[in-house]
Amino acid sequence: MSYYNGNYNGEMMVMTDDSEKELLKTVRKGGTIASILMAVIGALAVFAPTFTGLTVAYLITGGFAIYGVFKIAAYFGTPKFLRSGFMLADGILSAFLGGLILIDAIAGPEGRASMIATLAFAAGFMALFNGITQTADYFELRKEGFSGAGFILFGGILRIVMGMLIIADPFFGWFSLQLGLGTLLMISAIALFIETRSLKIGDLEG
């Protein structure tokens, strides 16, 4: 239980109870576990790029196929007057393409290379499209006198360049992206660990 005790200036000082200490332990434990997991995943991405790249590719492709199956199931589970032919077509196409790429990847190295190339192209075009959209937004924001428009332009150009590089060389782009994300994860893990271990009771209040 919390109680008060006067200090030498006659001011009141709050003494923490056991529940606050337990909360601090829980936060520290959760932050430490999260930082370790982030560091491990980041290290795998940097030091075992082939394994990590293939694992991520399998997960994304498998997830795409599962999404299609659920979309088909959702179509038949929806009342007839609410059904959309687009929903069924989207589900069939997603399940078919995802399943086909996955089966091809399991069959041999050429299939795995094709899977990575397909995902890299998709990621590259997404980055390119987002970069063009963001760059267009810059000109609109500039007209409105938005002070942070320059950062938006910089981000847009960066995405355009990244998208073009990935499309030009899918394999290099896929593993370079993975290397960058892995490095970022490890740096973030170190920062989270330091921040978590330096937490005090007062930081949890409010």
pLDDT in tens, 7-43: 444 443 444 556 777 777 888 888 888 889 989 988 9
Q: How many domains does the chain have?
A: 1
Residue 102 forms part of a structural domain:
yes
Confidence check: pLDDT of 88 > 90: no
**206: its two tokens:** 């409010």
56 domain-assigned = yes
Q: Is residue 109 classed as helix, strand or coil in its secondary structure?
A: helix
Domain contains 38: no
59 in a structural domain = yes
DSSP state of 148: T
Q: Which domain holds residue 97?
A: 51-107
Check residue 202 and give its pLDDT.
58
Spatial distance between the Cα atoms of 78 and 47, rounded to a whole number of angstroms? 47
| pLDDT confidence of residue 139 | 84
Mean per-residue pLDDT over the chain, rounded: 81
Domain membership of residue 191 (yes or no) is no
Domain presence at residue 81 = yes
With respect to residue 13, please indicate whether it lies within any of the assigned structural domains: no
* Residues of the chain above pLDDT 70, percent: 87
